[in-house]
Amino acid sequence: MKINFSLNGKETELDVDPMAVALDVVRGLSLTGTKEGCGVGVCGACTIMVNGSPVSSCICLVGTLADKDVWTIEGIAEKMPELIDSFVEEEGMQCGICTPGQIVAAAAIESVGASNAEEIKKYMAGNLCRCTGYQTILSAVEDHLAVN
Amino acid sequence: MQSTEFMIPTSVSEALDNISREDAIFLGGGTSTALLYKTRMIEPSRVVWLGKVSELKGISTSATTVRIGSTTTMAEIAANREIARLFPGVSAAAGVIGNARVRAMATMGGALAHADPRQDLPPALIAVGATVSVNSSSGSREIPLKEFYEGFLETVLSPDELVTEVSIPIRSNQRSSYLRYTPTSEGDYPTVGSGTSLIFGPDGKTIEAATAVLCGVGTVPILADEAARILIGSSGDDTTLQRAAEAVRNAVDPQDDERGTADYKREMASVFTYRSLKSCLNS
């Protein structure tokens, strides 16, 4: 089935199984920055941004992306280099597996209007880091929001 | 495996035409459907996605009723100011479900039809008297949400019926609350959740109607009728709240699992109903 959507700012038409999950589809397009973690929508490693909101690509059927505005870490990194800088400067990563998801979630934080430290913490709680370097991740998000 | 036909209707009537096949299913945000499909617990030959049916989306408020369209997301419910003002329990429940990603995708209608008894939203909605509107090609009907559930993942819906909206009556002197408890991660299903509502009489002090509904402690959301009876006629004094919370122990029917033993859940159901009632009184 042909699905049309905007992917990282480019109009895209794909001939795919609409019941495939977005994670497999974007990785199949060599956008391998999006990582699979838990595979059940809990950990946040595979976060993509859809119409400005964070979405777990591992439980997102690609058919439901029709006509939507979809961003992966590759597009976010290009569009928001200052967000990447915040994560680098605050050392908001350790092993790196959760980092693309953390950054995409941070990019989509405007969707919930979180601004103070407590709201940021509540919003980012859905993105797990098993190295448990949470404080530097939160600092990176706070730094990004303070600058922008 | 045969491929699944993916339909994208743009109206309710088209969606109802599309569902006429035996093993077709409606699809809202897809958070639960994707998991069931990935693990091959469901293998529908046709999926009818409701994302383009604009008449199913959105929240409207009149003087007497709040209506929530079935494809409205949890994030949209949690962000709605009228719902936060009128039904703080519903707002709180929608805002704690899963994580921000699930709340951005998951729809109310999908959640209700999925009928997992650990869901946060049903007790909050039942507490404030929500009614489900359902359409099919043979007609429409209204079902009080408290009569909607039949068992684990089972509702009174027939396969061709579509949840179109939920309506909640606006009552003066009503206070409501939802509180959940989970010992695991914040994004997990709760061990127990308690939705409560108190309606006060004209004097503003005497409780005229009360509802306490629990999730996580049975195969369906559980109404604690005895607790409600104890509250009615009282002023919500602490002794009465404790007696009502105590009565919840006998209403629930929990099972041992990784979220706690049955005894522990019974205790937490009582404790969190007490706190939820307190929160009503303090709101």
CATH number at residue A40: 3.10.20.30
Instruction: Quote the tokens at residue B140.
Output: 């429409």
The domain B5-49: what is its CATH number? 3.30.43
Q: Does the pLDDT of residue B258 top 60, yes or no?
A: yes
Buried-exposed string A76-115: b where 16+ CB fall within 10 A, e elsewhere: bbeebeebbebbeebebbeeebbbbbbbbbbbbbebbebe
pLDDT value of position A76:
98
Among the candidates A75, A100, A118, a domain finishes at A75
pLDDT value of position B2:
64
Q: Are residues A99 and A67 in the same domain?
A: no
pLDDT value of position B1:
55
Q: Does the pLDDT of residue B78 top 80, yes or no?
A: yes
d(CA B115, CA B195): 16
Instruction: Find, among B269, B243, B242, the residue nearest to B255 by Cα.
Output: B269
Among the candidates A75, A93, A127, a domain finishes at A75
Is pTM, for the whole model, over 0.90?
Answer: yes
Average pLDDT value for residue range A8-20: 97
d(CA A70, CA A68): 6
Shortest distance, CA A120 to any CA of chain B (angstroms): 11
Q: Are residues A111 and A131 in the same domain?
A: yes
Query: Looking at the predicted complex, does its ipTM rise above 0.90?
Result: yes
Share of chain A above pLDDT 90, in %: 93
Q: Are residues A61 and A105 in the same domain?
A: no
- Chain B contact for A41 (CB, 8 A cutoff): yes
Q: Give residue-wise pLDDT tens across range B85-125.
A: 999 999 999 999 999 999 999 999 999 999 999 999 999 99
Shortest distance, CA B89 to any CA of chain A (angstroms): 18
Residue A142 sits in a domain whose CATH number is: 1.10.150.120
Instruction: Quote the tokens at residue B282.
Output: 């303090």
CATH architecture of B174-282: 2-Layer Sandwich (3.30)
Flag if B6 and A53 touch (Cβ within 8 Å).
no
Tell which A residues from 117 to 146 touch B, by Cβ distance under 8 Å: 123, 125-128
Q: Are residues A61 and A113 in the same domain?
A: no
Average pLDDT value for residue range B207-225: 98
The separation between CA B182 and the C-alpha centre of its own chain, rounded to angstroms, equals 17
pLDDT value of position A114:
87
Residues of A in contact with B100 (CB under 8 A): 53-54, 105, 108, 111-112, 123, 126
Q: Are residues A88 and A24 in the same domain?
A: no
Are the CB atoms for B131 and B142 separated by under 8 Å?
A: yes
Residue B119 CA neighbour count, 13 Å, CB half: 30
pLDDT value of position A132:
87
Q: Are residues A101 and A46 in the same domain?
A: no
pLDDT value of position B21:
80
SS3 B157: coil
Tell which B residues from 48 to 87 touch A, by Cβ distance under 8 Å: 49, 51-52, 75, 79
pLDDT value of position B185:
78
Are the CB atoms for B91 and B82 separated by under 8 Å?
A: no
Q: Give residue-wise pLDDT tens across range B121-166.
A: 999 999 999 999 999 999 999 999 999 999 999 999 999 999 999 9
Shortest distance, CA A82 to any CA of chain B (angstroms): 23
Shortest distance, CA A95 to any CA of chain B (angstroms): 21
- Chain A contact for B36 (CB, 8 A cutoff): no
Look at chain A and report how many structural domains it folds into.
Answer: 2
Minimum Cα–Cα distance from B44: chain A residue: A19
Residues in CB range of B94: below 8 A, 6 or more apart = B74, B75, B77, B78, B83, B103, B120, B121, B124
Q: Are residues A71 and A83 in the same domain?
A: no
Query: The CATH number of B57-169 is which of 3.30.465.10, 3.40.50.620, 3.40.50.300, 2.60.120.590?
Result: 3.30.465.10
Question: Which one of A41, A63, A127 has the shortest CB-CB distance to B49?
Answer: A63
Among the candidates A27, A54, A75, a domain finishes at A75
Domain ranges of chain B: 5-49, 57-169, 174-282
Q: How many CB atoms lie within 10 A of CB B68?
A: 25
Q: Give residue-wise pLDDT tens across range A24-65.
A: 999 999 999 999 999 999 999 999 999 999 999 999 999 999
Q: Does the pLDDT of residue A101 top 70, yes or no?
A: yes
- Chain A contact for B185 (CB, 8 A cutoff): yes
Q: Are residues A6 and A63 in the same domain?
A: yes
Question: Which one of A18, A39, A111 has the shortest CB-CB distance to B104?
Answer: A111
Best of B5, B32, B72, B101 to substitute, by most chain A Cβ atoms within 10 angstroms, is: B101
Q: What is the average pLDDT value for chain A, to the nearest integer?
A: 96
Q: Are residues A110 and A55 in the same domain?
A: no
pLDDT value of position A35:
98
Average pLDDT value for residue range A99-114: 94
Residues of B in contact with A56 (CB under 8 A): 31, 101-102, 105
Flag if B31 and A47 touch (Cβ within 8 Å).
no
Q: What is the average pLDDT value for chain B, to the nearest integer?
A: 96
pLDDT value of position A148:
65
pLDDT value of position A92:
95
Residue whose entry in the numeric block shows the structure tokens 């049916």: B53
Average pLDDT value for residue range A119-135: 93
Q: Are residues A67 and A106 in the same domain?
A: no
Are the CB atoms for B208 and B231 separated by under 8 Å?
A: no
Domain range for A11 is 2-75
Distances (CA, A) of A118 to B81, B98, B187: 20, 18, 16
Q: Are residues A87 and A135 in the same domain?
A: yes
Residues of B in contact with A126 (CB under 8 A): 98-102, 186-187
Query: For A66-75, A106-115, B236-245, which range has the lowest pLDDT when averaged over its residues?
Result: A106-115
Q: Are residues A83 and A69 in the same domain?
A: no
